[in-house]
Amino acid sequence: MRGPLRAEDALFLHAQTPLACQQVGAVVLLEAARPGAPGAGGPGFDGTEFRAVLAERLRAVPELRRRLERPRSRWRRPRWAGDEDIAAGERIREATVGQAGTPGAFSGVVDAFFTEQCDPYRRPWEIRLVHGRPDGRTALLVKVHHTLGDSRVIIAALARLFDDARPPRGDGGPQLPRAWGGSAPPRTRLAAGARALRGLGHLARAGAAPASSLCGPFTTDRRQYVPVALPARDIARTARALHASITRLLVASVTEALGHLLTARGEQTAGRVLRIAVPRAWPAAGRRGRSPGNRSAALTLDVPVGPSSPAERLAAVRDQAGLHLRRGEPDGAALVLRAMNLLPPPVQRRAAAAVYQRRWFNVLVSVFPGDRRRLLGLPVGEVYPVLPLADGVGLAIGAMTWEQSLSVGILADAALVPDADKLAAELAGTVRNYCRITT
């Protein structure tokens, strides 16, 4: 776990600004409280016990027992160091909705928690246990600095931290299929290198993303987080009926919902496209002996946002995805990130900040499978992912399966996208319409 910070992980350190946090996380709602386990402000976990149990379990999760050391000069890279003496009281805190110093509504607690940045040098991850929700459920807010890994790595680490118990087979709800499919991976390194170079050439010719009111210079660090629960089984059935993956169906639904949102703002959408960035795991992600970290590059799709039928919009997403995969564009993007390891640290910092920002995409959408688990003996009712905003990109949308829901988390810049709640409603309505046409 020790050693210099890889460029693929340093991307998110250098892309972070005072107004753009680079952290992934989750909002977890526990199904019920344990009898006889009072927590501050209402039923829930006893905070002292909770911290003690997690401190013990951290020994088995090396991904969360490390932090960065600052470089001694600007010409050196930050290095990973062991973080063995973790102060649970600083990392794991409690809050009760409505108490002094705490926002009066649960949504305010969530927004404030994900607005505050993790410090990868001191506290690369934090947990907040929240009591006092009107429904009586305890909530768990988790955030982890993106340098420690991508969403899949972090979710796997948190699953081991909280509980490794699995439900009986068939009780975990529908699982996501492969996101895109596409051509088979090259059989030789030479072929892989050739495809990456070809993809890099196509990326260079793609140019900048189209202008959009969803993007622009950040003027505030305030974030709004809106969760949406969508019917996973209906979505899976609809995707099969339309010969699409769940990822493609969600990308099409998000784009249509954004079209409705922009129209409600008084903007013209006919003939316009938005560039959607969809992270995709590298073929080398599963190679043995490799340290954990970020192992994905984005597939970017220019999808129409104007009036269109579901079939036409899905076809546009399918055609774009197939074209970019055949061209090897995700491989080209991964090559850029790997090549950044060869750059001197000052140049690497500038390159990272230039790569991950609004110039290249308008919206981030990521879909990954979830799993039903229990948290210290309690069933987890709902889990909503939280993705970071790239600098100047006002929307990041994450989705994962959990129980019978496709749990979607929308993180929005409060100034660029003050109507994130309307987007959530539009997305739910669009998905219902897609499901309705196949029943």
Specify the pLDDT at position 85: 74
- Same domain? 156 vs 195: no
- Burial, 203: exposed, middle or buried (Cβ in 10 Å; 0-12, 13-18, 19+)? buried
Q: Can you give the residue range of the structural domain that contains 17?
A: 3-162
Last residue of a domain, one of 103, 127, 162: 162
Specify the pLDDT at position 32: 56
- Same domain? 236 vs 152: no
- Most confidently predicted of 26-40, 85-99, 178-192, 316-330: 316-330
Query: Strand ranges (DSSP E) for 349-413?
Result: 363-368, 374-375, 378-386, 395-402, 405-413
Q: Can you name the residues that pair with 175 across neighbouring β-strands?
A: none
Specify the pLDDT at position 173: 41
171 pLDDT higher than 60: no
In a domain, 171, yes or no: no
387 pLDDT higher than 60: yes
Please choose, from the candidates 108, 146, 111, 114, the residue with its C-alpha nearest in 3D space to the C-alpha of residue 127: 114
More confident of the two residues 229 and 371: 229
pLDDT tens digits for range 254-278 = 999 999 999 999 999 999 999 999 9
Structure pTM?
0.88
- Same domain? 60 vs 112: yes
- Same domain? 238 vs 135: no
User: Which residue stretches of 151-231 are H helix?
Assistant: 151-162, 189-206
Last residue of a domain, one of 147, 162, 177: 162
More confident of the two residues 328 and 155: 328
- Same domain? 110 vs 154: yes
Backbone angles phi, psi at 229, to 5 degrees: -100, 120
Show the CA angle centred on residue 17, arms to residues 196 and 409, nearest 5°.
75
Query: 273 near 287, Cβ under 8 Å?
Result: no
In a domain, 304, yes or no: yes
143 pLDDT higher than 90: yes
Average pLDDT over residues 425-435: 94
pLDDT averaged over the chain? 84
Last residue of a domain, one of 146, 162, 178: 162
pLDDT tens digits for range 33-63 = 444 443 333 344 567 787 788 888 888 888 8
- Same domain? 386 vs 428: yes
Number of Cβ within 10 Å of residue 220's Cβ equals: 11
Average pLDDT over residues 309-334: 89
Specify the pLDDT at position 60: 82
Residues 6+ apart with CB under 8 A from 362: 209, 210, 212, 214, 215, 274, 275, 276, 393, 395
- Same domain? 195 vs 155: no
Number of domains forming the structure of the chain: 2
Average pLDDT over residues 57-79: 88
Q: Which helix (H) or strand (E) holds 233?
A: helix 232-241
- Same domain? 153 vs 199: no
